[in-house]
Chains A and B, each alone.
Chain A
Amino acid sequence: MATTAYLPKEKMKDWLKVLSEKHQLFVPCLEDDVVLFQLFNPEKNLCFDRPANSSPKTIIFSQCEQLFSFNFKKEPDNPQKTSIELKENLEYPPTIIFGARPCDAKGFMIIDSVYIETDIADPYYRGRREKTTIITLSCPVPYVGCFCTSVGGGPADKAGSDILMTELEKGYFLEASTEKGEALLREPLFEDGSSYIDEAENIRKACYTMVEKPFSDDEPGKKPLPRFHEDTFWEQEGNRCISCGACTYLCPTCYCFNITDEQTANTGERIRTWDACMFHHFTLEASGHNPRPAKYGRLKNRVGHKFLYYPEKYNGVIACSGCGRCIRYCPVSISISNVVASLKDNMRESVDDKH
């Protein structure tokens, strides 16, 4: 039996204040007309009306992570001889991501398979991940581009969340599904949640039927995509792509990175920054050869990675949580869900014929 609790709406800020005392607390805030995860501050304008523009991915898989810093030292007696001193910092503060959506929480599970559940875990990602608690808000309605139910998720999916909150008329119903989550619910602010289970369940269920289903979720990730190797299809779909990184950088599941040494004279640091498979230089080799020189090949790889290659490697799990951000914010409105729908259906001529 999961631990449940109820929090009246007027006590939300009090709870956030309590959480921020012992944690680095990230909450969705409204800035101009953009929703962003920012450090909690009672003055800030909290926004739970719609999902944040960018996923909270960077809080655990940092967009710019210092792997270590280095320092070249000259030996005073023999200045021609230098030694190098390396320093790393793997201490991360206890952190809470508050008000993420189920698709955001699921995104971290997809990254976990690659960076934690493997022979050699990534210490930076694992370090932040272990210190982070995720408090998710279930979606009362779907938003433009959402398709979570087609990729094995849902607007009230608990996977990846330590606590799932559901907004009720006068308060929030909270349900912990991990020990980390349960610990946070032992707080005098809360009321008993058991009498609100039915109300919450009804709200959660209602949204499932409202989410658009561009393709069916029967055996997600296990069915082949019949048209995947038709290059004419990709040319037609990919020629409008402008090769920017908006889709991958807003994505809760993209995990590719680049490593750069940033050095000035004798000191520097090695940093790991996000990379995007839609950039030309993503596959650029040191020889100058680029095996994926055309835009359509890069789009094919992005879709292929999420819907074919990753599922092949990780038990049929699709590396997409259906958050819809890449669709919502693509400067040329390329829709990954439409592309996959066309690929799944070999009766359909091309994406263009959908309309």
Chain B
Amino acid sequence: MGSEKLKEIVSKVLPEVDVVIGYRQGFDQLHAIPHFITTPEHIDQLIWNPLCVHNLATYLPSLNKKAAVVVKGCDSKAIVQYMQEELINRENVVIIGIPCTGVIDVNKVLHAINYRPVKEVTFENGSILIRTSEGQKKLLLSDLYPDKCKTCQYPTPLVYDHLVGEPVKTDKPPESVDEEVREFEKKSIAERLAYWEKEFDRCIRCYACRNACPMCICRDKCIVESRDPHLMSQKLTPGEKLMFHMIHSLHLTGRCIECGECDRACPMGIPVSKLKKMINLGMKNRYGYIPGINPEDKSPLLVFSLKGENTEEQKP
């Protein structure tokens, strides 16, 4: 699945950079993991398949090295956003883009195989075959897409220095992106509050959603853990959990690129990205702005303008 072409490009790029971040097989064949390539011997382990789910761009802002990174279409939006916010020096980053036809939600596979240890994984014409102690299971890739792939508008990376394979065009209508949140918005405030209270009740404040987020760039200085100043309670009440998620979402206003890493990272299966998508929809409706599309754009809330085109002045 393009692995050979990818290895060829990485071999060419490696001498120019300190590290190339790609994917390799993890503890079993179902789990791919980020692979930090620093010597040519590492290149052989590189893989590319629909199990390569992580957004590797997330490592860039704190890396302080000249790096090449393998990105899918959705991941590339993080790089665009980093460029807008000047969080990376583009000269120090080599982008290896891969046109993507959709990745796999590994949790859906685990569910289908009853969480049994995986012995072997193979791909075959739009399906994945997984062998466990219960035998072989064949699953259609189209049944395993995470939500982001079902409405993906940018399967081909928006920025790249090298492209592995031919560009892919989306066949998903643009309005499909917001369909889920538009539906959700139809619920009453009370219904939505009840929904979130139930979902966040199982949050364990492990901050996997925050740390997997490419746009959460405060990293070790996050307001929700700071002890001096002590701004947020460390308690585990539903209110404190909701507060954390609201802070996370609001800090992403006009910045969330909807890569879905927060959903994927959550060990408790909380659909945390939905809050962010709702805020993004608000930004789109009010300012006509979508994050992570054009490096020249500026997020409306990050600029000051006396006459904002879509800003309504509050009349007394």
Task: Report if A and B associate in a common complex.
Answer: yes
Report if B163 contacts A (CB, 8 A): no
Query: B253: shortest Cβ distance to chain A, in Å?
Result: 23
Report if B234 contacts A (CB, 8 A): yes
Residue ID in chain A nearest B262 by CB atoms: A331
Q: Which residues of B have CB within 8 Å of A279?
A: 207, 225
Report if B230 contacts A (CB, 8 A): yes
Report the separation of the CA atoms of residues A63 and B268 in the bound assembly, to the nearest whole angstrom: 15
Report if A36 contacts B (CB, 8 A): yes
Report if A332 contacts B (CB, 8 A): yes
Report the separation of the CA atoms of residues A307 and B96 in the bound assembly, to the nearest whole angstrom: 39
- Apart from the given pairs A53-B269, A260-B233, A331-B208, 6 other A-B contacts in the complex at a CB distance below 8 Å: A141-B133, A244-B206, A249-B206, A260-B230, A280-B219, A333-B32
Residue ID in chain A nearest B199 by CB atoms: A32
Chain B 108-150: CB-based contact to A (< 8 A → 1; otherwise 0): 0011001111100000000000000100000000000000000
Query: A327: shortest Cβ distance to chain B, in Å?
Result: 6
Q: Is the CB of B212 within 8 A of A244?
A: yes
Report the separation of the CA atoms of residues A260 and B227 in the bound assembly, to the nearest whole angstrom: 8
Q: Is the CB of B211 within 8 A of A242?
A: yes
Q: Which residues of B have CB within 8 Å of A54?
A: 204, 267-268
A33-B269, A335-B27 known; A262+B204 contact, CB < 8 A: no
A54-B267, A142-B117, A332-B33 known; A245+B208 contact, CB < 8 A: yes
Report if A322 contacts B (CB, 8 A): no
Interface residue tally for chain A (C-beta within 8 Å): 52
| A352 contact from B24, B220, B235, B264, Cβ within 8 A | B24
Q: Which residues of A have CB within 8 Å of B265?
A: 242, 244, 246, 331
A32-B269, A145-B27 known; A249+B204 contact, CB < 8 A: yes
Report if A239 contacts B (CB, 8 A): yes
Chain A 230-243: CB-based contact to B (< 8 A → 1; otherwise 0): 00000010011011
Report the separation of the CA atoms of residues A144 and B106 in the bound assembly, to the nearest whole angstrom: 12
Chain A 210-250: CB-based contact to B (< 8 A → 1; otherwise 0): 10100000000000000000000000100110111110111
Which residues A313-355 have CB closer than 8 A to chain B? 325, 327-329, 331-335, 337-338, 352, 355
Query: B50: shortest Cβ distance to chain A, in Å?
Result: 15
A64-B235, A143-B115, A246-B267 known; A281+B227 contact, CB < 8 A: yes
Q: Is the CB of B206 within 8 A of A246?
A: yes
Report the separation of the CA atoms of residues A258 and B233 in the bound assembly, to the nearest whole angstrom: 12
Report if B92 contacts A (CB, 8 A): no
A242-B208, A245-B206 known; A212+B117 contact, CB < 8 A: yes
Q: Is the CB of B34 within 8 A of A355?
A: no
Report the separation of the CA atoms of residues A329 and B267 in the bound assembly, to the nearest whole angstrom: 5
Query: A218: shortest Cβ distance to chain B, in Å?
Result: 22
Report if A122 contacts B (CB, 8 A): no
A143-B115, A210-B133 known; A36+B202 contact, CB < 8 A: yes
Report if A273 contacts B (CB, 8 A): yes
Report if A50 contacts B (CB, 8 A): yes
Report if B311 contacts A (CB, 8 A): no
Report the separation of the CA atoms of residues A158 and B33 in the bound assembly, to the nearest whole angstrom: 35
Pairs of residues from A and B, 6 with the lowest C-beta to C-beta distance, nearest first: A335-B27, A280-B220, A329-B267, A331-B265, A244-B208, A245-B206
Which residues A138-187 have CB closer than 8 A to chain B? 141-146
Q: Is the CB of B36 within 8 A of A143?
A: no
Q: Is the CB of A355 within 8 A of B25?
A: yes
Report if A49 contacts B (CB, 8 A): yes
Which of B25, B28, B236, B267: most chain A Cβ within 10 A? B267
Query: B61: shortest Cβ distance to chain A, in Å?
Result: 13
Report if B26 contacts A (CB, 8 A): yes
Q: Is the CB of B34 within 8 A of A240?
A: yes
Report the separation of the CA atoms of residues A25 and B234 in the bound assembly, to the nearest whole angstrom: 26
Q: Is the CB of A34 within 8 A of B211?
A: no
Residue ID in chain B nearest A31 by CB atoms: B202
Report the separation of the CA atoms of residues A64 and B203 in the bound assembly, to the nearest whole angstrom: 13
Q: Which residues of B have CB within 8 Å of A49?
A: 114
A333-B26, A352-B45 known; A53+B268 contact, CB < 8 A: yes
Report if B169 contacts A (CB, 8 A): no
Report the separation of the CA atoms of residues A325 and B268 in the bound assembly, to the nearest whole angstrom: 12
Q: Is the CB of A33 within 8 A of B206?
A: no
11 residue pairs of the A-B complex, CB under 8 angstroms, read A36-B268, A54-B267, A63-B236, A240-B36, A244-B211, A245-B205, A246-B267, A249-B204, A327-B27, A331-B265, A355-B24
Report the separation of the CA atoms of residues A141 and B113 in the bound assembly, to the nearest whole angstrom: 12
Report if B286 contacts A (CB, 8 A): no
Residue ID in chain B nearest A338 by CB atoms: B27
Query: A212: shortest Cβ distance to chain B, in Å?
Result: 6
Residue ID in chain A nearest B27 by CB atoms: A335
Report if A271 contacts B (CB, 8 A): yes
Query: A147: shortest Cβ distance to chain B, in Å?
Result: 10
Which residues A248-292 have CB closer than 8 A to chain B? 248-250, 258, 260, 262, 271, 273, 276, 279-281
Q: Is the CB of A144 within 8 A of B234?
A: no
Report the separation of the CA atoms of residues A327 and B205 in the bound assembly, to the nearest whole angstrom: 18
Q: Is the CB of B36 within 8 A of A236?
A: yes
Chain A 36-57: CB-based contact to B (< 8 A → 1; otherwise 0): 1000000000000110011000
Query: A277: shortest Cβ distance to chain B, in Å?
Result: 13
